């Protein structure tokens, strides 16, 4: 079995796994498809001898001898009565066919919508559970594509499988009718279809390759769009709007060309194959007329009936082949979706089982080393402790590993060497969600949703009462500002808090931390991006928040950590000094150097 066939079988099996939860609906789709085809076939089969007799009532031959008795019952009376019977019968068959087809369509749509929902939920759940390291190594646009484009492709794959049932049942029924009319001509046309199959297959391969390029280009389009939107301020400041528009135009132009080529080849296949097979039928009829001296008028209904049924079956065969080609055009997006899903699942944050109740003694870093993927070691064998209720500050130059310590404490990353011990338990063994409930994290890059102030404040603590919210806003010194807004807490603050100033966003982050009432507070350069006046206001709010809590402050400005119980000085990922502010000044080392640079004036 070649690799291509194995791939097809594998994705058929994967599609079945997505259909399996809704197998009852799938069963009904099969029943509705077969029933629709049967009534369609009965209508055609029964009408042909009626039509034959109506045109030539003296002709005792019938295309379908099996229907002779039915024909004798129904074809009694005047031609007007026969015509009425014919039209009523046709109407009844169409009604039944349409009813079953209607139920087939809506059932397919229902199962498609449910499967799309499952696919989107699966990829989103995997992304939400994956590690921060994983998010740092992938493009956001890839997962937007996985959630939108690829899921639609998979649903199309499954949708086509159900449509193939209808196509196959109609081909069988129409084919049976053609064989009853003339098995010889049917075999000749079938031979022509087989002869033309290599050409058709080569065209479908061409269409499939173009479709794959379209899928990749769509993924590039989404990724580029997200990058541009995320970096609008940089683009504006750099004056590179024209440059970005040209880059984007190249992608959309290429996409337009590819889609045109796809349509061109898809339209070419039925045109050429239909012409070839119709030519075969005409030649067969002409040979039959010349060779056997057939009366054309006598067999006119026979010829018309054959051509009518043949065109129906030929259209179904072409649609069947196109569907198969279209289905396997979706294999690459299916594969891309599965790849992204598995990557995200593999990077799922490992969660311990030990419940964290409360910090009793201290947090200890024991010989901790860490490096980001494909980078040099960021932290080297760190050893220090953070006693309960203490204020520990971590300072150092940019790139010395300060923020990495905050991320390790939050469980967003785990050290490659050493251990982080919470009282007597390794952080890896703690229930991470339970641990994070006890941590408040305030950074200089405030994370804000395009939502109301209230929803941003209570994010992560959705059961907060209005009293909790007001109290937190007052502590963060943002209460009066909110109350003076026209819509108060219901005011939307825009993408990334674009309607707020830096100081207001920082106060909102502080209030969010207060509402959570964390036992441990991590401040990651929470005031470094603010002006001196705003910094003093925020610092005052932070002091209120820090009271009675274990505080770890990643600091750039030393004015924010003068009251620290312990200062850890980092240099190139190593601890070079540690002690109280007074002791470190006396040592005349790194801390003294930083102190003089900031306070000499």
Determine contact, residues 591/395, Cβ cutoff 8 Å. Answer: yes
Residue 93 has pLDDT above 50, yes or no: yes
* Whole-angstrom distance, CA of residue 50 vs CA of residue 34: 25
**How, if at all, do strands 362-371 and 377-387 pair?**
antiparallel
pLDDT at 138: 66
pLDDT at 99: 92
Helix (H), strand (E) counts: the chain:
21, 10
* Whole-angstrom distance, CA of residue 357 vs CA of residue 586: 39
The CATH homologous superfamily to which domain 362-599 belongs is P-loop containing nucleotide triphosphate hydrolases (3.40.50.300)
- Read off the pLDDT band of 529 (50, 70, 90): low
Residue, of 1 and 141, whose pLDDT is higher: 141
pLDDT at 459: 80
Mean pLDDT over 196-213 rounds to: 74
Residue 346 has pLDDT above 60, yes or no: yes
- Read off the pLDDT band of 375 (50, 70, 90): low
Mean pLDDT over 161-177 rounds to: 84
Pull the structure tokens for residue 424: 């007597």
Residue, of 256 and 286, whose pLDDT is higher: 256
The lowest-confidence range among 8-12, 266-270, 291-295, 303-307 is 291-295
Helix pair 183-230, 331-346: axis angle to 10 deg: 40
> From residue 368, how far is each of 185, 399, 408, 421 by CA, in Å?
82, 17, 10, 11
% of the chain beyond a pLDDT of 90: 2
Residue 60 has pLDDT above 50, yes or no: no
pLDDT at 142: 66
pLDDT at 47: 61
- Tens-digit pLDDT profile for residues 493-528: 777 667 777 777 878 888 888 787 788 888 877 665
Residue, of 301 and 389, whose pLDDT is higher: 389
Residue 535 has pLDDT above 50, yes or no: yes
**Token match 């305030």: residue?**
442
Helix (H) or strand (E) holding 333: helix 331-346
**How, if at all, do strands 566-571 and 391-396 pair?**
parallel
**Confidence (pTM):** 0.68
Determine contact, residues 263/211, Cβ cutoff 8 Å. Answer: no
Burial of 442 (0-12, 13-18, 19+ CB in 10 A): buried
Closest CA to 31 of 133, 124, 104, 96: 104
> From residue 446, how far is each of 43, 141, 325 by CA, in Å?
69, 22, 49
pLDDT at 217: 80
Mean pLDDT over 255-280 rounds to: 76
Instruction: Specify the DSSP class assigned to residue 413.
Output: S
- What's phi and psi for 443, nearest 5 deg? -120, 170
- Tens-digit pLDDT profile for residues 206-242: 777 787 788 778 777 777 777 777 676 667 666 777 7
* Whole-angstrom distance, CA of residue 594 vs CA of residue 589: 9
The CATH homologous superfamily to which domain 13-346 belongs is ABC transporter type 1, transmembrane domain (1.20.1560.10)
3-state helix/strand/coil string of 268-320: HHHHHHHHHHHHHHHHHHHHHHHHHCCCCCCCHHHHHHHHHHHHHHHHHHHHH
Closest CA to 489 of 505, 517, 460, 466: 466
pLDDT at 336: 78
- Tens-digit pLDDT profile for residues 549-570: 888 888 777 777 777 888 888 8
pLDDT at 70: 54
What single string gives the DSSP state of each residue in 3-33? HHHHHHHHHHHHHHHHHGGGHHHHHHHHHHH
Q: Domain residue spans in the chain?
A: 13-346, 362-599
pLDDT at 335: 80
**How, if at all, do strands 520-524 and 550-554 pair?**
parallel
- Tens-digit pLDDT profile for residues 425-459: 888 888 888 888 888 887 777 777 778 888 888 88
Determine contact, residues 274/233, Cβ cutoff 8 Å. Answer: no
pLDDT at 61: 47
Dihedral Cα 491, 495, 498, 504, nearest 10 deg: 60
Residue 63 has pLDDT above 80, yes or no: no
Mean pLDDT over 393-420 rounds to: 83
pLDDT at 207: 76
Residue 578 has pLDDT above 80, yes or no: yes
> From residue 371, how far is each of 402, 429, 576 by CA, in Å?
13, 21, 19
* Whole-angstrom distance, CA of residue 533 vs CA of residue 538: 9
13-346 and 362-599, same CATH topology: no
What single string gives the DSSP state of each residue in 478-502? -HHHHHTSTTGGG-B--GGGTTS-H
Q: How far is CA 327 from the centre of its chain?
A: 19
Residue 538 has pLDDT above 80, yes or no: no
Mean pLDDT over 538-558 rounds to: 76
Determine contact, residues 318/274, Cβ cutoff 8 Å. Answer: yes
The lowest-confidence range among 24-38, 53-67, 77-91 is 53-67
Determine contact, residues 483/517, Cβ cutoff 8 Å. Answer: no
**How, if at all, do strands 417-422 and 391-396 pair?**
unpaired
Task: Give SS3 for 578.
Answer: strand
């Amino acid at each position: 079995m070649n690799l291509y066939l194995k791939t097809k079988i594998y994705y058929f099996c994967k599609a079945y796994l997505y259909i399996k939860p809704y197998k009852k609906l799938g069963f009904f789709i099969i029943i509705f498809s077969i029933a629709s085809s049967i009534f369609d076939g009965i209508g055609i089969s029964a009408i042909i001898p009626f039509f034959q007799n109506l045109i030539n009532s003296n002709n005792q031959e019938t295309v379908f001898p099996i229907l002779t008795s039915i024909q004798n019952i129904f074809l009694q009376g005047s031609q007007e009565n026969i015509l009425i019977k014919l039209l009523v019968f046709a109407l009844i068959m169409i009604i039944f066919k349409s009813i079953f087809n209607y139920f087939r369509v809506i059932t397919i749509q229902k199962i498609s919508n449910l499967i799309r929902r499952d696919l989107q939920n699966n990829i989103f759940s995997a992304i939400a559970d994956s590690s921060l390291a994983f998010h740092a190594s992938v493009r956001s646009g890839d997962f937007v594509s996985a959630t939108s484009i690829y899921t639609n492709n998979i649903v199309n794959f499954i949708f086509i499988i159900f449509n193939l049932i209808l196509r196959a049942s109609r081909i069988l029924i129409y084919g049976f009718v053609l064989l009853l009319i003339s098995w010889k001509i049917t075999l000749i046309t079938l031979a022509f279809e087989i002869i033309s199959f290599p050409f058709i297959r080569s065209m479908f391969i061409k269409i499939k390759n173009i479709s794959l390029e379209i899928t990749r280009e769509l993924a590039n389009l989404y990724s580029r769009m997200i990058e541009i939107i995320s970096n609008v301020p940089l683009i504006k400041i750099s004056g590179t709007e024209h440059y970005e528009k040209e880059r984007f135009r190249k992608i959309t132009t290429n996409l337009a060309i590819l889609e045109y080529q796809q349509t061109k080849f898809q339209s070419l296949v039925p045109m050429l194959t239909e012409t070839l097979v119709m030519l075969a039928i005409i030649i067969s009829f002409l040979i039959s007329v010349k060779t056997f001296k057939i009366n054309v008028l006598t067999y006119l209904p026979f010829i018309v009936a054959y051509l009518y049924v043949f065109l129906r079956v030929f259209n179904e065969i072409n649609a069947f082949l196109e569907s198969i080609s279209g289905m396997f055009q979706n294999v690459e997006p299916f594969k891309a979706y599965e790849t992204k899903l598995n990557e995200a699942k593999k990077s799922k944050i490992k969660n311990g089982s030990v419940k964290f109740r409360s910090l009793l003694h201290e947090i200890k870093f024991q010989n901790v080393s860490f490096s980001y993927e494909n980078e040099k070691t960021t932290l080297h064998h760190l050893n220090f402790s953070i006693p309960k209720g203490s204020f520990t500050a971590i300072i150092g130059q940019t790139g010395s590993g300060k923020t990495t310590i905050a991320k390790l404490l939050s469980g967003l990353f785990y050290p490659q060497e050493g251990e982080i011990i919470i009282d007597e338990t390794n952080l890896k063994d703690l229930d991470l969600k339970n641990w994070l409930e006890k941590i408040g994290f305030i950074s200089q890059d405030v994370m804000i949703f395009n939502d109301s102030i209230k929803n941003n404040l209570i994010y992560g603590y959705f059961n907060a009462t209005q009293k909790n919210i007001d109290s937190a806003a007052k502590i963060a010194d943002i209460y009066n500002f909110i109350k003076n807004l026209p819509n108060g807490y219901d005011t939307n603050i825009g993408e990334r808090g674009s309607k707020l100033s830096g100081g207001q966003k920082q106060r909102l982050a502080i209030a969010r931390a207060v509402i959570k009432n964390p036992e441990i507070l991590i401040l990651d350069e929470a005031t470094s991006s603010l002006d001196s006046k705003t910094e003093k206001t925020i610092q005052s709010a932070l002091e209120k928040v820090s009271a009675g809590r274990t505080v770890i402050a990643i600091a750039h400005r030393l004015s924010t950590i003068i009251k620290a119980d312990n200062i850890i000085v980092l240099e190139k990922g190593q601890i070079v000094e540690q002690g109280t502010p007074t002791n470190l000044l006396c040592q005349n080392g790194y801390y003294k150097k930083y102190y003089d640079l900031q306070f000499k004036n």
